[in-house]
Chain A
């Protein structure tokens, strides 16, 4: 089946620094990737939709200058949390959608747990 990887799986950073999270589709091409954040015991909240070669579309309330998304290839999207603060601590999960085959289905990465101290 389709596999999506994320790196790193966890990261601890100091307040004010930036953190980059990578999302890769390993065995399929993904024109569209999604970034979610999930607080403890809560649902997945969509942050942005990333399309290869174009600017990401951000959900209402998500600061695009703080959460930089780049989708430079059909297999890689990155999320950079700039000037991180403790309130950015969360579980960040990406997902990718295939170009063909089962276009409805999204495949999720394993998630990245970010802790900002």
Chain B
């Protein structure tokens, strides 16, 4: 089955700086890669996703890059704000199969 690894597990940045979270996956057939933001005690919220036919996608301050050859994808948050503080999960999915989640990154943005 799919194995998704995520790094780092914790990340602290100063407000206004950029944050980068990286994930690798094992199944070359995976074709959908979403990123979720989860605040304490709440549901995961989809913040951005990318499909395997695209190398990069951007939505305002958030961008995701995908390298299919190396089987890794990254989340980039620019101009970070305190409200960006949360746990971020990457995930990978093959076709109609289930999502396999990374282990999560706790991002803290220091005002």
**CA A45 to CA B101, docked complex, whole Å:** 8
Q: Which residues of B contact A49 (CB under 8 A)?
A: 98
User: Contact: B34 with A43, CB < 8 Å?
Assistant: no
**CA A49 to CA B99, docked complex, whole Å:** 11
Contact partner of B44 (CB less than 8 A), chosen from A45, A104, A108, is: A108
Residues 76-111 of chain B, each 1 if its beta carbon lies under 8 Å from chain A, else 0 = 000000000000010001001011111110100000
Q: Name the residue on B nearest A49 (C-beta).
A: B98
Number of interface residues of B (CB under 8 A): 22
User: Contact: A113 with B41, CB < 8 Å?
Assistant: yes
A6 to chain B, nearest CB (A): 8
User: Contact: B43 with A93, CB < 8 Å?
Assistant: yes
User: Contact: A34 with B93, CB < 8 Å?
Assistant: no
Contact partner of B42 (CB less than 8 A), chosen from A41, A46, A104, A110, is: A110
A14 to chain B, nearest CB (A): 23
User: Contact: B89 with A44, CB < 8 Å?
Assistant: yes
User: Contact: B34 with A42, CB < 8 Å?
Assistant: no
Number of interface residues of A (CB under 8 A): 19
Contact partner of A43 (CB less than 8 A), chosen from B43, B51, B103, is: B103
With an 8 A cutoff between CB atoms, is B29 at the interface?
no
Q: Which residues of B contact A41 (CB under 8 A)?
A: 104, 106
Q: Which residues of B contact A111 (CB under 8 A)?
A: 41-43
Contact partner of B101 (CB less than 8 A), chosen from A43, A104, A113, is: A43
User: Contact: B102 with A104, CB < 8 Å?
Assistant: no
With an 8 A cutoff between CB atoms, is A87 at the interface?
no
**Between-chain CB contacts (< 8 Å), 8 pairs:** A34-B98, A41-B106, A44-B44, A46-B98, A105-B46, A108-B43, A111-B42, A113-B41
Top 3 nearest A-B pairs (CB, nearest first) are A108-B43, A104-B32, A110-B43
